[in-house]
Amino acid sequence: MSNQLFDAYFTAPAMREIFSDRGRLQGMLDFEAALARAEAGAGLVPHTAVSAIETACKAERYDVRALADAIAIAGNSAIPLVKALGKVVASGVPEAERYVHLGATSQDAMDSGLVLQLRDALALIDRDLGKLADTLARQALQHADTPLVGRTWLQHATPVTLGMKLAGVLGALTRHRQRLKELRPRLLVLQFGGASGSLAALGSKALPVAEALAAQLKLSLPEQPWHTQRDRLVEFAAVLGLVAGSLGKFGRDVSLLMQTEAGELFEPGAPGKGGSSTMPHKRNPVGAAVLIGAATRVPGLVSTLFAAMPQEHERSLGLWHAEWETLPEICCLVSGALRQAQLIAEGMEVDTARMRRNLDLTQGLVLAEAVSIVLAQRLGRERAHDLLEQCCQRAVAEGRHLRAVLGDEPQVSAELSADELDRLLDPAHYLGQARVWVARAVAEHQRFTA
């Protein structure tokens, strides 16, 4: 059962539906129906039984509460579900019951059902990543020349642009989309090995049935069953961990830019959004909180899957069980973060005037490097650096703008004209390759999307 109080905040409804109780049951039932069809094609199941089994493979026909109680005794979800399926089939076509789950094992149904869910989850995540990337590309281009303070170690550094910051997130998302595309064929594979992975129960029909079953489910047939080789699932989880981390970085920067002391960029406003129970003036970064929260929670869940990899022999005790809720929860958290990131990206409110004021907050100090670089070509690097450092200290001590201090310094005025100083201390003239970085990130996004 989903957590109804928090699901709307942390999880996208479409993802929660994929991993709902009904979604889990339907994944296993789709496996069972496809298995019957595949075995009928191999002559192991009469076609009359297939129809009865398919008719019974509808999740809404089963009592989730009763199955949950039975799982507590059986140890997994497939055992009571297969029993219930057999009873439903027998109630309609008694002789068809003997062909239910023929030659399969519980983990075949559960893992293959999970892969079917993951296929839907992957499509949803890829769609949302693409939509967010499109939005970030558009915003990055729009703000390619919007200057703001660059911050290193949380201190004012040199100017950057908002477009450059957004392009950094865009580049990360493009790489994650590439990773998901690359792992897709490794992830979307059938699990079908029978009791110990050899499919001995199906004799000479084993491989033909496996091939037909994979085709029925539109999955690839791996080189062998992977009951205790969990690298495919862990790889997917690890990439989702990367996605969560990049979204968390985006959320962290947005929240810092929303701080009262900065006030440069804001999440889109809405009635009642981001308020406080006691302080009417508050505008909290509630969307960014979801991104940061997911980035905080997902790594621990990913580590659980890594810890569950050394599974015993041909079927694991406990380690496999540790996966059941972990991977779905990762998918749900990432989906919620993507939804909130999209809302932030498409509706962000940018205060360019405040950005300019903050650039001037240190009265020209953020452009000291620009002056030092030019002076170094005329006075030498060390002498220019020492001179600028002294001028900066004097500006701070006297509460004066660096431009005024530099203009009064004979060693500087002897080398740089007033116009040169004005230009060097204009943030718009010290943005380096920011526009190029934006163009390159957008081009990479467009190449991948094409």
Q: What is the pLDDT of residues 180-203, one digit of tens each?
A: 999 999 999 999 999 999 999 999
Residue 129: exposure state from Cβ atoms within 10 A (0-12, 13-18, ≥19): buried
Reported for 300-309, long-range contacts at CB under 8 A and 24+ positions apart, including other chains, are 301/237, 301/326, 301/327, 301/329, 301/330, 301/333, 302/234, 302/237, 302/238, 302/240, 302/241, 302/330, 305/230, 305/233, 305/234, 305/237, 306/234, 306/238, 308/230, 309/230, 309/231, 309/234
Q: What is the mean pLDDT of residues 299-312?
A: 98
**pLDDT for position 1:** 42
Ramachandran quadrant class, 101 (left: phi over 0; alpha: psi -120 to 50; beta: rest)? left
Tell me: the pLDDT tens digits for 337-387? 999 999 999 999 999 999 999 999 999 999 999 999 999 999 999 999 999
Whether the Cβ atoms of residue 138 and residue 406 lie closer than 8 Å to each other: no
Catalytic residue among 196, 276, 381, 383: 276
Q: What is the mean pLDDT of residues 30-57?
A: 97
**pLDDT for position 271:** 62
Q: Which two tokens stand for residue 152?
A: 């290193």
| Residue 281 pLDDT exceeds 80 | no
**pLDDT for position 174:** 98
- Amino acid at site 93: V
**pLDDT for position 273:** 58
Catalytic residue among 184, 252, 315, 435: 315
Q: Does residue 315 have an active-site annotation?
A: yes
Residue with tokens 């084993």: 206
In order of their start, the domains of the chain are 13-104+204-216 (1.10.275.10), 111-189+226-359+433-450 (1.20.200.10), 365-424 (1.10.40.30)
Q: What is the mean pLDDT of residues 278-284?
A: 64
Whether the Cβ atoms of residue 322 and residue 226 lie closer than 8 Å to each other: no
**pLDDT for position 278:** 57
Query: What pTM was estimated for this model as a whole?
Result: 0.94
Report the alpha-carbon distance of residue 428 to residue 379 in Å, rounded. 25
3-state SS, one letter per residue, for the chain: CCCHHHHHHHCCHHHHHHCCHHHHHHHHHHHHHHHHHHHHHCCCCCHHHHHHHHHHCCHHHCCHHHHHHHHHHHCCCHHHHHHHHHHHHHHHCHHHHHHCCCCCCHHHHHHHHHHHHHHHHHHHHHHHHHHHHHHHHHHHHHCCCCEEEEEECCEEEEEEEHHHHHHHHHHHHHHHHHHHHHHHHHHCECCCCCCCCCCHHHHHHHHHHHHHHHHHHCCECCCCCCCCCCHHHHHHHHHHHHHHHHHHHHHHHHHHHHCCCCCCEECCCCCCCCCCCCCCCCCCCHHHHHHHHHHHHHHHHHHHHHHCCCCCCCCCCCHHHHHCCHHHHHHHHHHHHHHHHHHHHHHCEECHHHHHHHHCCCCCHHHHHHHHHHHHHHHCHHHHHHHHHHHHHHHHHHCCCHHHHHHHCHHHHCCCCHHHHHHHCCHHHCCCCHHHHHHHHHHHHHHHHC
